[in-house]
Structure 1
Amino acid sequence: MEEVSTCLPVTEDVAWLNVDEAAEVGRVRRTATNLAERLAFPATRVAEIALAVTEIGTNLNKHASGGQVVVRSVRAAEHAAVEVLAVDRGPGIADIELAMTDGQSTTGTLGLGLGAVARSADRFALSSDRGRGTVLVARFHPHAAARLDDDGATAGLTRAIGGEEQCGDAYAVRRSGNRVTLMMCDGSGHGPLAASASREAVRVFCALPPGPPEEAVARLHEALRGTRGGAVGVADVDRSAGTVRFAGLGNIAAAVVTTARKHGMVSVPGVAGYQARTIRAFDYELPAGAAVVLHSDGLTERWSPQDDLVTRPPLVVAATLLRDAGVRRDDAGVLVAVAP
Structure 2
Amino acid sequence: MHRLFYITDESMIGHIRRETKDFCNQHNCNTIKEDVAIVVTELASNALKHAKDGSIIIKEILGSKYTGIEIIYMDKGPGFDTEKVVQDGFSTAGSLGVGLGSIQRLSDECHFYSHIGKGTCIVCRLFEKSKQKSVIDKYINPETFSYSHICVPIVTESYCGDDVAVYITKEYALAMVVDGLGHGEFAHQAAIMARDIFFENTDSDPEDIIASIDNALYSTRGAACSVAKIIPSHNKVIYTGVGNISGAIVGQKRINMVSHNGTLGMRNNKIQTFTYPWNKYDMLIMHSDGISAKWSLDEYPDIAHKDLSIINAVIFRDYHRPKDDASLLVLKEV
Tell me, yes or no, whether TM beats 0.5. yes
* 2:249 corresponds to: 256
How far apart, in 2, do the equivalents of 1:38 and 1:158 lie? 18
Q: 2:119 aligns with which of 129, 133, 155?
A: 133
Aligned alpha-carbon RMSD (Å): 2.2
Displacement, 1:42?
Answer: 4.3
Output the amino acid matched with 1:246.
Y
User: Among the aligned pairs, what percent are the same residue?
Assistant: 29
Indicate conservation of the 8 Å contact 2:215/2:267, yes or no. no
The 5 A counterparts of 1:25-40 are 25-40=13-28
Displacement, 1:319?
Answer: 2.0
* 2:169 corresponds to: 176
Q: Unaligned stretches of 5+ in structure 2? A: none
Displacement, 1:256?
Answer: 0.6
Displacement, 1:338?
Answer: 2.6
How far apart, in 2, do the equivalents of 1:209 and 1:38 lie? 29
The 5 A counterparts of 1:165-314 are 165-258=158-251, 261-306=253-298, 307-314=301-308
How far apart, in 1, do the equivalents of 2:238 and 2:111 lie? 30
How far apart, in 2, do the equivalents of 1:293 and 1:229 lie? 23
Q: Which moved more, 1:187-196 or 1:49-58?
A: 49-58
How far apart, in 2, do the equivalents of 1:339 and 1:114 lie? 31
Indicate conservation of the 8 Å contact 1:72/1:82, yes or no. yes
For residue 225 of structure 1, give the secondary structure of its aligned residue in structure 2.
Answer: helix
How far apart, in 1, do the equivalents of 2:162 and 2:29 lie? 29
For residue 137 of structure 1, give the secondary structure of its aligned residue in structure 2.
Answer: strand
The 5 A counterparts of 1:6-25 are 12-13=1-2, 15-25=3-13
* 1:63 corresponds to: 50
1:166-210 residue CA offsets vs partner (Å, 9 max, x unmatched): 221111100011421110001001111111111111122122241
Indicate conservation of the 8 Å contact 1:311/1:338, yes or no. no
Q: Does 1:316 align with 2:316?
A: no
For residue 271 of structure 1, give the secondary structure of its aligned residue in structure 2.
Answer: coil
For residue 166 of structure 1, give the secondary structure of its aligned residue in structure 2.
Answer: coil
Q: 1:271 to 1:48 in 2, by over 3 A?
A: same
For residue 65 of structure 1, give the secondary structure of its aligned residue in structure 2.
Answer: coil
For residue 302 of structure 1, give the secondary structure of its aligned residue in structure 2.
Answer: coil
Indicate conservation of the 8 Å contact 2:29/2:69, yes or no. no
Q: Does 1:76 align with 2:76?
A: no
Aligned residues: 323
Would you identify which runs of 4 or more consecutive aligned residues in structure 1 move more than 6 Å?
none
Displacement, 1:138?
Answer: 1.1
Displacement, 1:254?
Answer: 0.6
Indicate conservation of the 8 Å contact 1:251/1:297, yes or no. yes
For residue 131 of structure 2, give the secondary structure of its aligned residue in structure 1.
Answer: helix
1:223-274 residue CA offsets vs partner (Å, 9 max, x unmatched): 211011111100112234432111111111111112x532100111221111
Q: Unaligned stretches of 5+ in structure 1? A: 1-11
Output the amino acid matched with 2:245.
I
Indicate conservation of the 8 Å contact 1:99/1:112, yes or no. no
Q: 1:73 to 1:91 in 2, by over 3 A?
A: same
Q: 1:40 to 1:333 in 2, by over 3 A?
A: closer
